[in-house]
Structure 1
Amino acid sequence: MTSTAQPATADKRASVVLLVACLGQFLVVLDVSIVNVALPAIRTDLGFDATGLQWVVNAYALTFAGFLLLGGRAADLFGQKRVYLAGLALFCAASLAGGLADSAGLLVAARALQGVGAAVLSPATLTILATTFTDPSARTRAVARWSAAGAAAGAIGSVLGGVLTEYLSWRWVLLINVPVGGAVVAAAFVVLAERAVPTARRLDVTGAILVTAGFSLVAYGTAQTHEHGWGAVQALGPIGAGVAALALFLLVEARFATAPLVPLGIFKVRAISAASVIMVLVGAAFFAMWYFLSLYMQNVLHYSAIRAGLGFLPHTAAIIVGARSAPALMRRFGPRAVLILGAVLGTAGFLWQARLGEDTSYAAGLLGPAIVMCLGSGLLFTPVAALATGAAPGSEAGLVSGLINTARQVGGSIGLAALATVAASAAAPVVGYQHAFLAAAAALALIVPLSFALPKPAGP
């Protein structure tokens, strides 16, 4: 009786732990998609200008990218339960501050803090799964459900953001994290177990701050070029300071950090260097897609927030189909072929989307491009990750995975700043969106030649 009850209790606890981990990841991903639909309402309420509005997205993305690797290391050094709770608590507190913000600056600052919380929380969720599910098949199933939670958050976020913005206020796209996150914190405090942690704890906080500041300053300076021009001190000053911060980051990582955030020697592996560049381009294109389509549907086609949210469902569905199809296609045709297919589809979809006009109907001008470019997006990530992690030593597979995710976030942030400037420089909003989609198509087209820098995987 006792022997039967103990496994049942263990299985039940493991299921609750899985739920807690999935909910943490769900909130992290939700906060990307849920905000996009609320952007026009945020702009009207807080007085953002055309280039400033992108910082509602970018402040979150940049700090998330800059502190992601640090967050993963923190879970190993300080304990998964402590780090999970700390990350989620910071995420919820920043959500509350953002939901109550009465100025553009306060909202951007709150979004930046949310990004830090997400960077601490997200890696901890995977660490929890890895230590809870020790059987390989059980761990695979758990990670699959964790991935599905992220995909579901992307789909639900657009619709939920529309509902909350339409019937309550844009503020609730942030405030909703507080009660949900509070309940998850309480559950995590009860069900998560802490494991032993090393006594020697070294975190490269300096590196994380420098790389985040560097990319943020470059993005800010790029956004200033719309108003002041590329030769103005208002643009060159931040860009120069950002480049200096990034150079200092490289120096710290190479010479002074005892536990470097990014061991620079890893980039000597050709596959990892090429994969990082490819993911920067992927992030630049697809971050911009969500941002500009949200503005286009609501500001030009005059969709309600709910209708705009529903309009993104085909995009999410196509990404899921592409992602689920990629492994089977890779087994048959190889990862490089799938990577090229994804890049070609993405490029074609963005070129098609660039034909939008003042009165484009959803069925004629949005649905087709959505399916094509998002199928391409879904196909891209898996072969890049497979080629890069396959070229890395086994002990560094986690580091490489983190680098690829960071590259995508950084690319999205810098790309969004650049494309928002391109769009704002046009004579009319629709023309600006067309230019932005053309630039995104050009970025994805570069992936095709870059794919040949990736080595072929070893044969069976």
Structure 2
Amino acid sequence: MSDQQHPAAGRPATAPDPRRWQALALLCATYFMVCLDGQIVILALPSIERQLGFTVAGVQWVMSAYMLTLGGLLLLGGRMADLLGRRRMFIAGTALFLAASLLCGLARAPEFLVAMRILQGIAAAIMTPTALSILMTTFEEGHERNKALGFWSAMGASGATAALVVGGPLNDWLGWQWVFFINVPVCLALLAFSPFLLKESRDTSHGRGFDVAGAVTVTAGLMAFVYAIVEVPQLGWTHVNTLAAFGASALLLLLFVVIEARSASPLVPLRIFRSVRLVGGNLVVLLAGMIVFGMILVLSLYLQKVLGYSALQVGVSTMIYSAIAIVMSYSSGPIASRIGARPLAVIAMALMAAGCLLLARAGGNYWIDILPGLVIFGPGIGAAVVSGSIAALSDVAEGDSGLASGINSAAFQLGGALGVAVVATVAVSWSGGSDTVAALTTGYQAGFLACAVLAGIGVLVALFLPGKAPAGAATSVVHLG
């Protein structure tokens, strides 16, 4: 029986909802907020580190905790919404996001803030796939849905860009707490309008189970890995705590594979990884996430701690790379259709490597040392994410398209968390733990070089991507943050 005969399976069977465009505005506001929250905290990290007493290495958990939880639980959040009711779960996730944001702003200890960021990531992992699923069930397939998805994607890109502009004034004028408090009025508005604008829907066509054990083990395994990386500068590679954390990570990830192989309703059916395109494309997206989040973290710290920029100045100074990335994102689809995803991915990674190498020369002058690197880096990140996504989604059966899109979105979030941990660890190691300008400069230069190395690995991965996808392969890309 086709999907059209199952209204609950995701396709409207009645007349279009007259309030669908108002609903779209609400859903896009949600995506904007989630994407904003992924990056807005970057500019506030020095203030958070200083006022809450984080260590230089430990402050990266304010970012990593959110991204790891969001990426690790993304697929579970979408599946729970399908089974338990999309509107119901959207409202529950929004209420949780509101509470977590409020508690983040009220935090007075590092451990409490990190715990609330984990809670915020759980909420985002419910809200984001649920909002996209509601969009897909609200709009008929075809022109209207494509138009709605275009607005959705634009809001995600705008949220990431706005974070660099909004975060600065909030941190400088009102305090770092307001990068979290800003979510409260938005969430209240979402909660007020959701019951009136969103229709309830479910999808029970694929069974009743969802894989909580798989989601928990993969998230815990990745967190253990990040913890091990972060502790290396203080403890060393051979310390018992470092080895224990790496061992726990390996065991948890192995347990995840076992659970997925035996589960009746696996979070990620292992068969999907037989596709070389999917694996290679997602590796490109994972590396792109590592590079961009690692680079912008180190750059923000360099501009504030070495050049003495305010958070507002950092936001304005780094907007150029984000704006260029957005323009290139919209241009990359047609380019990939002409030359193929593989050549575009190779070029993209090469541009990011070149940009990071220029940034690694940073010696105290923004116009000479920073701006040229950002101008080259920007188009690279836009093209890398799109080309990697096209490669990952171009050889997927229609029945696995939702799963593959979720994996693709999770890859970028998880890559961001891993990149922040790896690059921050390199920077701290090379600075020797000193906070002198000379030591910090050396550490941040090493961080930029680490990003260039990751981009070099990305070039090698891109070279091994399969050639052009078969004619008619899907090339639409929708990212969840």
Pair 1:447-2:466 in alignment: no
* Alpha-carbon distance in structure 1 between the residues aligned to 2:216 and 2:121: 13
User: How far apart are residue 196 of structure 1 and its match?
Assistant: 4.3
* Alpha-carbon distance in structure 1 between the residues aligned to 2:464 and 2:82: 33
User: How far apart are residue 82 of structure 1 and its match?
Assistant: 0.9
Pair 1:33-2:31 in alignment: no
- Counterpart of 1:245, as a letter, is L
Pair 1:134-2:145 in alignment: no
- Please say if residues 298 and 308 of structure 1, whose CA atoms lie closer than 8 Å, have aligned partners that are also in contact: yes
Aligned to 1:93: 99
- Counterpart of 2:243, as a letter, is L
2:289 maps to which of 283, 292, 302: 283
Matches within 5 A, 1:154-169: 154-169=160-175
- Please say if residues 166 and 305 of structure 1, whose CA atoms lie closer than 8 Å, have aligned partners that are also in contact: yes
* Alpha-carbon distance in structure 1 between the residues aligned to 2:278 and 2:323: 29
Aligned to 1:336: 342
User: How far apart are residue 288 of structure 1 and its match?
Assistant: 0.5
2:236 maps to which of 229, 242, 248: 229
Secondary structure (helix, strand or coil) at the match of 1:391 reads coil
* Alpha-carbon distance in structure 2 between the residues aligned to 1:442 and 1:15: 45
Shift of the 422–132 alpha-carbon distance from structure 1 to 2, 3 Å rule, reads same
User: What TM-score, normalized to structure 1?
Assistant: 0.95
Aligned to 1:403: 407
User: How far apart are residue 312 of structure 1 and its match?
Assistant: 2.0
1:383 maps to which of 387, 402, 409: 387
Matches within 5 A, 1:13-412: 13-198=19-204, 201-255=208-262, 257-357=263-363, 359-360=364-365, 362-412=366-416
Q: Which is worse superposed, 138-147 or 444-453? A: 444-453
* Alpha-carbon distance in structure 2 between the residues aligned to 1:17 and 1:219: 38
* Alpha-carbon distance in structure 2 between the residues aligned to 1:15 and 1:396: 28
* Alpha-carbon distance in structure 1 between the residues aligned to 2:463 and 2:378: 23
Aligned to 1:5: none
* Alpha-carbon distance in structure 2 between the residues aligned to 1:455 and 1:449: 13
* Alpha-carbon distance in structure 2 between the residues aligned to 1:433 and 1:290: 11
Aligned to 1:3: none
- Please say if residues 78 and 201 of structure 1, whose CA atoms lie closer than 8 Å, have aligned partners that are also in contact: no
User: How far apart are residue 397 of structure 1 and its match?
Assistant: 1.5
RMSD: 1.5
Q: Which runs of 5+ in 2 are unaligned?
A: 1-14, 432-438, 473-481
- Counterpart of 1:458, as a letter, is P
Secondary structure (helix, strand or coil) at the match of 1:446 reads helix
User: What TM-score, normalized to structure 2?
Assistant: 0.91
- Please say if residues 297 and 308 of structure 1, whose CA atoms lie closer than 8 Å, have aligned partners that are also in contact: yes
Aligned residues: 449
- Please say if residues 271 and 453 of structure 1, whose CA atoms lie closer than 8 Å, have aligned partners that are also in contact: no
User: How far apart are residue 22 of structure 1 and its match?
Assistant: 0.2
* Alpha-carbon distance in structure 1 between the residues aligned to 2:151 and 2:254: 39
Secondary structure (helix, strand or coil) at the match of 1:38 reads helix
User: How far apart are residue 12 of structure 1 and its match?
Assistant: 5.2
* Alpha-carbon distance in structure 2 between the residues aligned to 1:104 and 1:305: 21
User: How far apart are residue 224 of structure 1 and its match?
Assistant: 0.7
* Alpha-carbon distance in structure 1 between the residues aligned to 2:327 and 2:450: 25
Secondary structure (helix, strand or coil) at the match of 1:25 reads helix
- Please say if residues 282 and 389 of structure 2, whose CA atoms lie closer than 8 Å, have aligned partners that are also in contact: no
Aligned to 2:12: none
Aligned to 2:441: 430
- Please say if residues 288 and 412 of structure 1, whose CA atoms lie closer than 8 Å, have aligned partners that are also in contact: yes
User: How far apart are residue 449 of structure 1 and its match?
Assistant: 2.5
Aligned to 2:470: 458
Spell out, residue by residue over 1:427-454, the C-alpha distance to the aligned partner (whole angstroms, 9 max, x if none). 3111111111111111111222222332
* Alpha-carbon distance in structure 1 between the residues aligned to 2:375 and 2:197: 41
User: How far apart are residue 270 of structure 1 and its match?
Assistant: 1.0
- Counterpart of 2:31, as a letter, is Q
Q: Which is worse superposed, 222-231 or 386-395? A: 386-395
* Alpha-carbon distance in structure 1 between the residues aligned to 2:95 and 2:85: 15
User: How far apart are residue 287 of structure 1 and its match?
Assistant: 1.0
- Please say if residues 46 and 102 of structure 1, whose CA atoms lie closer than 8 Å, have aligned partners that are also in contact: yes
Q: Which is worse superposed, 68-77 or 113-122? A: 68-77
- Counterpart of 2:305, as a letter, is N
* Alpha-carbon distance in structure 1 between the residues aligned to 2:260 and 2:194: 34
- Please say if residues 356 and 365 of structure 1, whose CA atoms lie closer than 8 Å, have aligned partners that are also in contact: yes
* Alpha-carbon distance in structure 1 between the residues aligned to 2:350 and 2:361: 17
Secondary structure (helix, strand or coil) at the match of 2:58 reads coil
- Please say if residues 344 and 384 of structure 2, whose CA atoms lie closer than 8 Å, have aligned partners that are also in contact: yes
Q: Which runs of 5+ in 1 are unaligned?
A: 1-8
- Please say if residues 270 and 453 of structure 1, whose CA atoms lie closer than 8 Å, have aligned partners that are also in contact: no
User: How far apart are residue 228 of structure 1 and its match?
Assistant: 0.7
Aligned to 1:6: none
- Counterpart of 1:435, as a letter, is A
* Alpha-carbon distance in structure 1 between the residues aligned to 2:141 and 2:457: 41
User: How far apart are residue 331 of structure 1 and its match?
Assistant: 2.5
Quick one: percent identity of the two aligned structures? 40
Spell out, residue by residue over 1:173-221, the C-alpha distance to the aligned partner (whole angstroms, 9 max, x if none). 0011111111111111221110244395311011110000000011001
User: How far apart are residue 276 of structure 1 and its match?
Assistant: 2.4
Q: Which is worse superposed, 283-292 or 94-103? A: 283-292
Secondary structure (helix, strand or coil) at the match of 1:426 reads helix
